[in-house]
Structure 1
C-alpha cells in the first residue's frame, strides 16, 4: 500500500497544496506554479508500484501535462504582453483578444482530458492502480474545472461559451461511444469520466452551482466505486463477473455502475437532473439532447454488466452469498436514497 511508504505523505501534501494554491491565486503565474506543484506531487504516486506499465503511464501523463502547462504559460505571456498584468481579471479588459484566451482554455481542457484532448486519458488510466485512478478522475480535475468556471464568469465572451459547449458535447459523445468497445474496467471508467467531464464543463457554462453539485455527486460515486473495485481486485470484465464476494458487494457494483450512468432514481441521476433543470431557460437548452444521448449510450454498456451480474448472483450457490463488508450496504443506501435526501433537505443550497 502507498500509505506504507514514508515519502507518500509529503507527496500527497504537495499535490493538495498545489491544487489549493492554484485555485486561490489571482495571477496566471501563481496558477501555473500551483499546477506544477500538483504535478510534482502526483507523479511519484503514479509510479509507486515500480511496474513497467505504471512508469509508461507516468511518462504519458507528464508529457501531456507539460504541453498543457506550456499552452498556459504561452497564453498568459501573450496577455501580459498586451495588458502588462498577470492578473486573471485582465480578461475583462481584453475580451476581443481571443488568442491568449484560446491557449489558456485549451491548456485547462487538456489537463482535464476533455474532447478533443481526450486521447491520453484512457491509455494512462488503463495502466494505473486503483488509488491513482481515483485521484486522476477526481482530485486532479478540481483545479482545471474551477479555473474554467472562473474564466466563464469574468470573460463573458459568447464565442468562448459556444466553443466550450461544443467541446463538452464532443466529450460526452466520445465517453458514450468509446466505452462500448471496452473489456477492461479501467478503460470503461476512463471513457465514463470523459463523458462526465462533458456534463461538468457544460454545467460550468450555464450554472456554476449546478457544476458544483454534479461534481460533488460524481466524487461520491467514484469514491464508492473505486473502493469496491479495489476490494474485488479485478481489472477485466470477465474477472469482475466471475468472482463472488457476497450479495451486497455484487449489488453495490451493479448499483454504482447504474448510478454512474445516471439511471433514475439513483444518486447519479440527481446530478444530471439538476444540470438539466438549471439550463431550461437558457438558449443552449436545445443542445442538451446530445448530453442525454451520451448518457443513454453509457447506460447501454452499464446495463450489459448489470444483466451479467444478475445472472451470476442468482445462479451462484456460494454459502457466503449474503456476506460482504458492511460498507457495501452503506453504498447501496447512499445511492438509492442519497439524492432524494439532498432534495428533501435542500442540501443543494449548501454546496
Structure 2
C-alpha cells in the first residue's frame, strides 16, 4: 500500500518541475526547482532505501549549493546594466549550477553515490524525471557552444570510462546516465525536437530496465547472474534493453543517436561526433560484457524455479524497444 506522504510529495515533485519549465522569469524557475528539491528529500528518506539518511543528505547539500549558485547568478544578471544581454561569466555560472543539478560531469560526483543508497523507484525518478527541468532551463541559455562542448566531451568520457569496473547495477545505471547526459546536451545543441525524442526513448528503455531489476530485487552483478537464470523472459528482455540503451542499430536506442550524429555532422561538430561515438563504444563494451556473461559464462538451468507472470504493460514496452526503430524509419521515410 502506497503511503499518503509519497502521493503528496510525488504530486509536488511533478508540480515543481512543471512550474520551472512553464515560468517566464528566472525567479519563478528557481522557485520551481526548490519545490522539486524539497519534494524529493522525503521520498529519498524512506526505510526501504539502503542508506536513507546519507543519500537524502548528500542530495540536499549538493542541490542546495547548486540552487544558491543559481540564485546568485540570477541576481547578478538582474542587477547588470544590460538586462537583456547575459555576459559569458554569468552565463557560465548559471549553466554550471544547472549542470550540477543535472549531474553532468565534471559536477557528477554526487550522482552515483546518491544512486547507490536508494531503491529502484527513486533511482528511476533521479534517472528520468529529475533531468527534465534543468535541461529545459539550459535550452534558454545555449549561446555558449564551446563551454557546452567541453561538458559534453567530459560527460561522455566520464560516464563510459568510470562505468567499466563497476559491479553495482545502480552505479552502472548512474554512469550510463552521465554518458547519456552528454548525448542529450549534444542533441540539444542541434535541435530541441531531437532532444525530446532522445529523452523519451531513454526514459522508456530505462523504465524497462529498472522495472525488471525492481521486480527481481537485483542490485549487484552477482545477484543478476544467479537470479535471472530462473526467468528466461526477464533475462531476454533485460539483454535486449541493455543493447538498446547502448545504441545498437536493430533497436530503438539507435534512432535518437542516429538523429543526433546526423545533425552534429550537418553543423560541422565533427570532433564532438567522433568523441561521442568513441564513448558509446566503451559503454557498449561493458553492456555486452554483462550480457555475454549472463548468457554464456554464468548460464545454468535451475531444477526448481518459480516463473513470475509477465505483465502486458511490460511486454508492450519491450516490444516498442525491440520494434521501435523499424516503425521510426518507416514513419521518417514517408515524409
| TM-score over 0.5 (shorter chain) | yes
Aligned residues: 333
Match in the other structure for 1:87: none
C-alpha distance 348-145 of structure 1, shift in aligned 2 (>3 A): farther
1:283-313 deviations in Å (ceiling 9; x for gaps): 2133211111111000111111111121268
1:145-202 deviations in Å (ceiling 9; x for gaps): 11111222xxxx3xx1111111011100000001101010001000000000010011
Asked if 1:109 corresponds to 2:99, the answer is: yes
CA distance in 2, matches of 1:332, 1:320: 23
CA distance in 2, matches of 1:125, 1:241: 21
CA distance in 2, matches of 1:245, 1:6: 35
- SS in structure 1 at match of 2:80: helix
Report if the CA contact (8 A) 2:124-2:207 is conserved.
Answer: yes
Asked if 1:248 corresponds to 2:246, the answer is: no
CA distance in 1, matches of 2:26, 2:311: 46
Report if the CA contact (8 A) 1:248-1:322 is conserved.
Answer: no
Asked if 1:291 corresponds to 2:289, the answer is: no
Matches within 5 A, 1:87-236: 90=83, 93-95=84-86, 97-152=87-142, 157=143, 160-236=144-220
CA distance in 1, matches of 2:179, 2:264: 18
Residue from 57, 60, 78 that aligns with 1:59:
57
Gaps of 5+ in 2: none
**What's the TM-score, normalizing by structure 1?**
0.89
CA distance in 2, matches of 1:100, 1:332: 44
CA distance in 2, matches of 1:101, 1:347: 40
Match in the other structure for 2:329: 343
Report if the CA contact (8 A) 1:203-1:210 is conserved.
Answer: yes
C-alpha distance 51-226 of structure 1, shift in aligned 2 (>3 A): closer
Report if the CA contact (8 A) 1:115-1:171 is conserved.
Answer: yes
Structure 1, 233-242 or 49-58: larger mean CA deviation: 49-58
Structure 1, 233-242 or 280-289: larger mean CA deviation: 280-289
Match in the other structure for 2:320: 334
Instruction: Tell me by how many angstroms 1:318 deviates.
Output: 4.4
CA distance in 2, matches of 1:318, 1:216: 40
Match in the other structure for 2:287: 302
- SS in structure 2 at match of 1:279: helix
Report if the CA contact (8 A) 2:247-2:253 is conserved.
Answer: yes
CA distance in 2, matches of 1:322, 1:336: 23
CA distance in 2, matches of 1:56, 1:246: 34
Match in the other structure for 1:45: 43
Report if the CA contact (8 A) 2:204-2:317 is conserved.
Answer: no
Residue from 222, 230, 234 that aligns with 1:238:
222
Instruction: Tell me by how many angstroms 1:333 deviates.
Output: 1.8
Residue from 10, 13, 19 that aligns with 1:12:
10
Match in the other structure for 1:28: 26
1:16-36 deviations in Å (ceiling 9; x for gaps): 000000001111110110000
Structure 1, 278-287 or 170-179: larger mean CA deviation: 278-287
**What's the TM-score, normalizing by structure 2?**
0.94
Instruction: Tell me by how many angstroms 1:316 deviates.
Output: 1.5
Gaps of 5+ in 1: 85-89
Report if the CA contact (8 A) 2:230-2:301 is conserved.
Answer: no
